[in-house]
């Protein structure tokens, strides 16, 4: 779905998806009409046959002809019933597929702040449970509504033709049916919306407990968490039972008013037939038509229930989909290009980064996290950032791939404002190892190769090369299935250091123009750190590299070291220059040396 299309309601957004499948919708509607038409033909012919047999007498030929016509009509109606279900229900499945794809795609575009304010379990509930409820509108609800509409439009004129009086008796009971549907429909919508919201709470609780299972066990909180989940689960059951009770009253009450009309018709129709104002065949046909109308009227109760549930779920999904991505490409954005050594124009980044008086706030009302950052990083340079926790190092790194968005003109890549570079191109040219390592529950090879396309001739070799550079190859030799070892959720089978090295391999394998290592060696010892850095130096030599660290040993060989404090660069220079300055950097160096001596003693 185009991001430019706007709708005033969730239903308008849903109807947009029918455009793609309007051919199937029209064909399915045609099948419904043919199926209903042939089904409606049967009662009329039964009535004529009864009257004909009464007036002309019973014969084997007449009975055979009547039976064959009725069977033939029923078969044709059944065949088209099959086609209508196959066409319309299939259409609803395709719409469900499109909805799921767009919903998931939209989530991928939303900024980090959105996910910080939303629970994962709630988003999962909207993408699964709510989506299934919406699909019911796009399929069964449409099919049953069309069946009801066509039956009423075809049958009512026939019933009027048979008996005006009996038809009006039937219609007098309809207001009771309409009022019942309207009242209960509203109540079902309200209750189901609350149930879906509560289901999100349960999903979020379960997701958090499964993700944090080690913390739960470490604090011996299994029973407490089970008790809390049981309490939530019981509330969910109680709310569903409340809805079931409402539905349990709704359908019998609907059938009662329908049965009331049926009883009145039997009474008055029987009197009309006894007095000769209707033939037995007409009375039989009228009652058969009445039976044909009973199911659609009952089905409308199901449709009402389904639509109310679906619209409640649709509203919840639409709340997410109308959230605008805060970070997106400008309308006239063009790919960045540069000239290679031969003078040819190449699409890509050279790797120059410039911060111009950069000041950044998370919200307009919050204090600045970064203040007056002025720095030029030439292609191929290695720049290190060091400072206390909360000094703004990770925030600065997040601004480069536009995971966070700085103000216009404050960050430039290759002398072009970063907002004028396509997001896809920018992020494809950056290898980013975030402070918090995230691994997928796939194989080690799939995690390393996450950022590149499978099918390359040297695919396996590149995985092994990047693992070697990241200092992971020796560990892999000890794994039972080597690179095909399943890591488990969030890489639970790996140690902290192995996770970080896997993330480094994932960034290196892309051979990016800009490499960002955000405190990515904190979980390894100094010996392993030195080994990894020595192997990374060859990779970093041809790329712009930004290293964030807390340990001096990680950054001392950088071309330039920037010391951040309260969002400002308070010192900058090489290791030797900063040591001679005898400021914050030198103080940090002395303290770390002392800590190492205390640990060794």
Would you kindly state where each structural domain of the chain is located, as residue ranges?
Answer: 12-321, 349-429+514-601, 435-511
Contacts of 456 (CB under 8 A, 6+ apart): 462
Q: Give the span between the Cα atoms of 44 and 37, in whole angstroms.
A: 11
Q: Give the span between the Cα atoms of 521 and 497, in whole angstroms.
A: 7
Class of domain 349-429+514-601: alpha beta
- Read off the tokens for 123: 């988003």
Asked if 506 and 475 touch (Cβ cutoff 8 Å), the reply is no
Asked if 320 and 100 touch (Cβ cutoff 8 Å), the reply is no
- For 147-168, the three-class secondary structure string (H helix, E strand, C coil) is HHHHHHHHHHHHHHHHCHHHHH
- Read off the tokens for 460: 């396996």
Asked if 243 and 191 touch (Cβ cutoff 8 Å), the reply is yes
- Residue 67 CB burial class (10 angstroms; 0-12, 13-18, ≥19): exposed
Asked if 45 and 70 touch (Cβ cutoff 8 Å), the reply is yes
The domains spanning 12-321 and 349-429+514-601 adopt the same CATH topology:
no
pLDDT in tens, 231-262: 777 877 878 887 777 777 777 777 777 777 77
Between CA 417 and CA 422, with CA 421 as vertex, the angle to 5 degrees is 155
pLDDT in tens, 128-142: 777 777 887 788 888
- Read off the pLDDT of each residue in 319-332 and give the average, rounded to a whole number: 75
The pTM of this model reads: 0.65
**CA Rg, the chain, in Å?**
35
pLDDT band at 95 (very low <50, low <70, confident <90, very high): confident
Q: Is the pLDDT of residue 1 over 60?
A: no
Task: Report the SS3 class of residue 250.
Answer: helix
Q: Give residue for tokens 């407490």.
A: 224
Q: Give the span between the Cα atoms of 393 and 390, in whole angstroms.
A: 8
Asked if 454 and 509 touch (Cβ cutoff 8 Å), the reply is no
Helix (H) or strand (E) holding 389: none
pLDDT in tens, 488-519: 666 677 777 778 888 888 888 888 888 888 87
Q: Give the span between the Cα atoms of 18 and 28, in whole angstroms.
A: 13
pLDDT at 420: 85
Q: Is the pLDDT of residue 401 over 80?
A: yes
pLDDT band at 36 (very low <50, low <70, confident <90, very high): confident
Mean pLDDT taken over the chain: 77
Q: Give the span between the Cα atoms of 274 and 441, in whole angstroms.
A: 77
pLDDT at 523: 66
pLDDT at 212: 66
Q: Is the domain 12-321 a CATH 1.10.275.10 member? A: no
Q: Give the span between the Cα atoms of 313 and 133, in whole angstroms.
A: 6
pLDDT at 518: 84
Please, which contacts does 117-124 make with residues 24 or more away whose CB atoms are closer than 8 Å?
Answer: 119/200, 119/204, 119/207, 119/208, 120/204, 120/207, 120/208, 121/200, 121/201, 121/202, 121/203, 121/204, 121/205, 121/206, 121/207, 121/208, 122/200, 122/201, 122/203, 122/204, 123/320, 124/203, 124/207
Helix (H) or strand (E) holding 139: none
Q: Which residues of 90-119 are buried (b: 16+ CB within 10 A; e: fewer)?
A: ebbeebbeebeebbeebbeebbeeeeeebb
- Read off the tokens for 126: 């909207």
- Hey, which CATH number is domain 435-511, 3.40.50.150, 3.40.50.300, 1.10.260.40, 3.40.1360.10? 3.40.50.300
pLDDT band at 4 (very low <50, low <70, confident <90, very high): very low
């Amino acid at each position: 779905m185009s991001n430019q299309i706007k709708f005033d309601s969730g239903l308008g957004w849903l109807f947009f998806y029918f455009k793609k499948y309007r051919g199937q919708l029209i064909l399915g509607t045609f099948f419904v009409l043919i199926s209903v038409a042939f089904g409606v033909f049967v009662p009329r012919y039964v009535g004529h046959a009864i009257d004909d047999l009464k007036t002309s007498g019973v014969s084997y030929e007449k009975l055979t002809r009547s039976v064959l016509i009725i069977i033939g009509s029923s078969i044709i109606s059944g065949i088209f019933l099959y086609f209508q279900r196959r066409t319309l229900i299939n259409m609803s499945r395709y719409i469900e597929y499109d909805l799921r794809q767009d919903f998931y795609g939209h989530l991928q575009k939303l900024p980090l702040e959105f996910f910080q304010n939303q629970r994962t379990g709630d988003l999962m509930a909207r993408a699964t449970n709510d989506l299934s409820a919406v699909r019911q509108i796009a399929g069964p609800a449409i099919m049953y509504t069309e069946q009801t509409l066509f039956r009423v439009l075809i049958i009512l004129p026939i019933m009027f033709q048979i008996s005006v009086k009996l038809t009006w008796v039937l219609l007098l009971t309809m207001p009771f049916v309409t009022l019942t549907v309207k009242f209960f429909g509203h109540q079902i919508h309200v209750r189901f919306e609350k149930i879906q919201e509560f289901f999100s709470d349960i999903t979020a609780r379960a997701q958090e407990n499964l993700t944090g299972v080690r913390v739960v066990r470490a604090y011996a909180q299994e029973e407490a968490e089970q008790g809390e989940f049981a309490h939530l689960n019981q509330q969910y059951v109680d709310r569903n039972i409340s809805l079931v009770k409402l539905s349990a009253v709704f359908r019998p009450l609907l059938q009662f008013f329908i049965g009331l009309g049926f009883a009145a018709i039997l009474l008055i129709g029987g009197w009309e037939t006894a007095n000769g104002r209707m033939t037995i065949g007409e009375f039989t046909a009228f009652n058969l038509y009445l039976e044909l109308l009973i199911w659609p009227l009952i089905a409308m109760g199901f449709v009402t229930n389904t639509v109310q549930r679906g619209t409640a779920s649709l509203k919840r999904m639409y709340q997410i989909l109308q959230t605008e991505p805060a970070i997106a490409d400008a309308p006239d954005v063009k790919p960045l290009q540069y000239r290679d050594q031969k003078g040819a124009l190449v699409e890509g980044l050279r790797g120059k980064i410039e911060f111009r008086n950069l000041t950044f706030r998370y919200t307009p009302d919050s204090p600045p996290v970064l203040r007056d950052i002025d720095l030029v990083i030439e292609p191929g340079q290695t720049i290190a950032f060091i400072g206390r926790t909360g000094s703004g190092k990770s925030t600065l790194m997040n601004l480069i791939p536009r995971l966070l968005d700085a103000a216009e003109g404050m960050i430039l890549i290759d002398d072009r404002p970063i907002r004028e570079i396509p997001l896809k191109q920018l992020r494809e040219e950056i290898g980013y190892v975030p402070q918090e390592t995230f691994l997928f529950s796939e194989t080690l090879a799939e995690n390393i190769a996450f950022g590149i396309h499978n099918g390359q001739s040297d695919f396996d070799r590149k995985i092994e090369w990047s693992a070697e550079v990241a200092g992971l190859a020796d560990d892999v030799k000890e794994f039972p299935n080597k690179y095909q070892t399943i890591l488990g959720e969030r890489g639970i089978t790996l140690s902290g250091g192995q996770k970080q090295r896997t993330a480094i391999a994932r960034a290196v394998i892309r051979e990016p123009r800009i490499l960002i290592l955000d405190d990515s060696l904190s979980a390894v010892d100094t010996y392993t750190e030195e080994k990894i850095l020595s192997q990374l130096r060859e990779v970093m030599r041809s790329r712009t590299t930004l290293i964030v660290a807390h340990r001096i040993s990680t950054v001392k060989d950088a071309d330039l070291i920037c010391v951040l404090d309260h969002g400002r660069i308070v010192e900058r220079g090489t290791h030797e220059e900063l040591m001679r300055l005898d400021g914050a950097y030198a103080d940090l160096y002395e303290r770390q040396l002392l800590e190492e001596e205390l640990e060794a003693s």
